Structure 1
Amino acid sequence: MKGQELQFYNYHVWANQKIFSHLKGLPQDIYQKEVKNVFSSVSEVVGHIYATDTIWLSVMSGYSFDEIIKSGKQLRENIKGKSIEEMEMMFLNLSEQFKAFFDHQDNLNQLVFCAHPNFSQLETNLFELIQHVVNHGTYHRGNITAMLRQMGYPGVMTDYVAYLYATKVSNS
């Protein structure tokens, strides 16, 4: 992967791993427990992040909107009922797919055209889409923290500055 350009994506992988580690330390039923929130369970949020990350990798890879919609429906079905450990492995595999994609890119500022029937066509670049993936994950990791607190359990700090401390201090 490219150095500083993809530090945000590395943060996203780190933060997701922090969430998985934290969830595995809580009672098992917490992951599937239904709550009144934006999502019905923590597992629903985890599945949503995974599906969305997968969709955006497909967009960056140049798949058509129709191909993405078709595979996205199947993906959401495949996610249902997966355990924390299964989802963790799926996230790790997906991060390897992202890294392989990035390794084959010469320029993360290259233009990408995203066609969508409701939003028309967006002209952006790969780096901005990476930023979107990371921001989307950050938002929904916040949902997970709120849901855990609602159930009486603490969240885990996944702020970007915590990532910087963890990576900068461990590299010193």
Structure 2
Amino acid sequence: MHASFFEYHLWANKLVYKHLKDLPEDVCFQEVQSVFPTLYDTLLHMYQSDFVYLNVIKGESFEKIVAAVNQLKEENPERSLETLEKSHDQLGDKYREFINTLENLHANISVSHPSFGTLTTSYQELLQHVVNHGTYHRGNITAIMRQIGYKGVPTDYIFYLYETQK
């Protein structure tokens, strides 16, 4: 993996937000029987997970990350899609800034979790996890959209490659 693969993740998220803003406003909050109860809740989970992993990659403690995630829930009490998108965009900028400070994406980092123990892995592998996690949940979003009668937007990596080649 290279840093541009992470750019794919940000591109795909942006595409999903753009697509959802073109649909009726209530679509994001329509309840369904799925992995998450609404499209908005899926996006919120994606944002919170991206937030967690940026802090993990930066070496923050588990306790500090948990406290910060609890505070995130208070950032957008009106559950605005626009506010969530802006937060996601700002988080993407923070990832870019951090990635640009790394001399070697293959360098090892140790991550401690109270239940899972200590994992020694590379920055690259953690970033790959973030991208993979996002891809999985963008698939959930497409499935939810089909369930409520709308088409999803193609976010496969190949479409990113075609678009960035232009």
Instruction: Please report the TM-score for the alignment, with normalisation by the length of structure 1.
Output: 0.93
1:154 aligned partner: 151
Find out whether 1:138 has 2:135 as its counterpart.
yes
Structure 1 distance, partners of 2:103, 2:60, is 19
Cα separation, 1, equivalents of 2:76 and 2:110: 28
Once residues 83 and 126 of structure 1 are traced to their aligned partners in structure 2, the CA distance between those partners, rounded to angstroms, is: 32
Partners of 1:113 and 1:96 lie apart in 2 by: 24
Residue 75, structure 1, aligned to residue 72, structure 2: yes
1:125 and 2:122 equivalent? Answer: yes
Could you tell me which amino acid in structure 1 is paired with residue 61 of structure 2?
S
Identity of aligned residues (%): 43
Residue segments in structure 1 that go unaligned for 5+ positions in a row: none
Q: CA RMSD in A?
A: 1.2
Structure 2 residue aligned with 1:107 = 104
Q: Residue deviations 1:20-77, cap 9 Å, x none?
A: 1100011100011111111000000000000000000000111011111111122134
Structure 1 residue matching 2:118: 3-state secondary structure: strand
- The answer (yes or no) to whether the contact 2:76–2:83 under 8 Å persists in 1 is no
| Deviation string, structure 1 residues 115-165 (Cα, Å, up to 9, x no partner) | 011111100010000000000000000000000000000000000001111
Q: Name the CA shift for 1:44/1:69 in 2 (closer, same or farther; >3 Å).
A: same
* Cα pair 1:47 1:79 within 8 Å, conserved: no
> Separation in 1 of the partners of 2:6 and 2:120?
21
Gaps of 5+ in 2: none
- The two structures have a TM-score, normalised by structure 2, of 0.96
Q: CA deviation at 1:81?
A: 3.4
